[in-house]
Amino acid sequence: MIWPEIPPGVAPAVYYACVGTAVLVVGLSKAGFGGGIGILAMPLAGAVLPADRMLGMLLPLLIAADGLSNLHYLKQWEWRLLRPLLAGAALGIGAGTAFIWHFSRLPGFERGLSLLIGSICILFVAVQLPGLWGRRVPSLPPGRGSGLAVGGVAGVVSTLSHGAGPIVTLYLLQEKLEKRVLVGSLVLFFLVVNVAKVPTYVAQGMITAGTLRDTVWVLPLLPLGTLSGAWLNRRVPERPFILVMYAATALTAVHMIWRALRS
């Protein structure tokens, strides 16, 4: 079978619209437009795919996007901050792997994963909104301990949902880094973290020949999203766009939760 595997009961037009838009959103976010709107990709793709298949399909796309973005920020990193973050992330990925390994054997794992991902997306929107209205977002004091803690939480959340971007971004923003160093540090962090998740996803059957085939079909949309993000950066006010994307994230996350509860 060379065509994408569309789940039973999902119209092909709806599948391609949701998955295609999810990939475009990943490209937009990696181009630096729209802040953390990349989180929208999860509930969008999750609206037409089982949660574990959605995660497995998106991971190679995220690695490709991080790898390409990293080429623009070579050596634009802050190792003082990355070392504790990556050490914590290693522990977090281990904990997330143990969670998946244990609960994937139980009935209702896919449903529970959908509920978890949907809830993380809604929590993300709730945390981000105060910052959009100019209110101060609570942060951790700088230091190695905070870096380990943030990295650990990010590792768990990323393993379970690919949704750890805002956690690390908010932590690094308080360090007042120069913009290229900030973006370069974020890109390198998630490139390493996403590559480190591959063995877990392969071992758990979340990345298969089938998911890779489905990924290849939508891969050309990734550079299109990146180019669109660069174009939008110069021409479109970012705040109204972000508000629309966050509203879409909340709505699709609610739909994801509702579908999981109904199943």
3 lies in a domain?
no
Region of poorest pLDDT, from 28-32, 37-41, 87-91, 181-185: 28-32
2 lies in a domain?
no
71 lies in a domain?
yes
Question: What is the pTM (predicted TM-score) of this model?
Answer: 0.84
Model confidence pLDDT, tens digit, residues 30-62: 766 656 677 788 888 988 999 899 999 999 999
135 lies in a domain?
yes
CA distance linking residue 157 with residue 140, whole number of Å: 18
44 lies in a domain?
yes
152 lies in a domain?
yes
Contacts 24+ apart (CB under 8 A), 196-205: 196/89, 196/90, 196/93, 197/59, 197/93, 197/158, 197/159, 198/59, 198/63, 200/93, 200/96, 200/97, 200/100, 200/159, 201/55, 201/56, 201/59, 204/52, 204/100, 204/101, 204/104, 205/52
Q: How confident is the model at residue 87 (pLDDT cuts 50, 70, 90)?
A: very high
- Report whether pLDDT(117) > 80: yes
7 lies in a domain?
no
Q: What is the mean pLDDT of the chain?
A: 84
- Report whether pLDDT(1) > 80: no
90 lies in a domain?
yes
DSSP code, position 136: P
Please tell me the total count of domains within the chain.
Answer: 1
DSSP letters along 2-63, please?
-S--PPTT--HHHHHHHHHHHHHHHHHHHTT-STTGGGGHHHHHHTTS-HHHHHHHHHHHHH
Q: In this prediction, what percent of the chain has a pLDDT beyond 90?
A: 35
Structural domain including 23 reads 12-262
Quick one: pLDDT at residue 246?
74
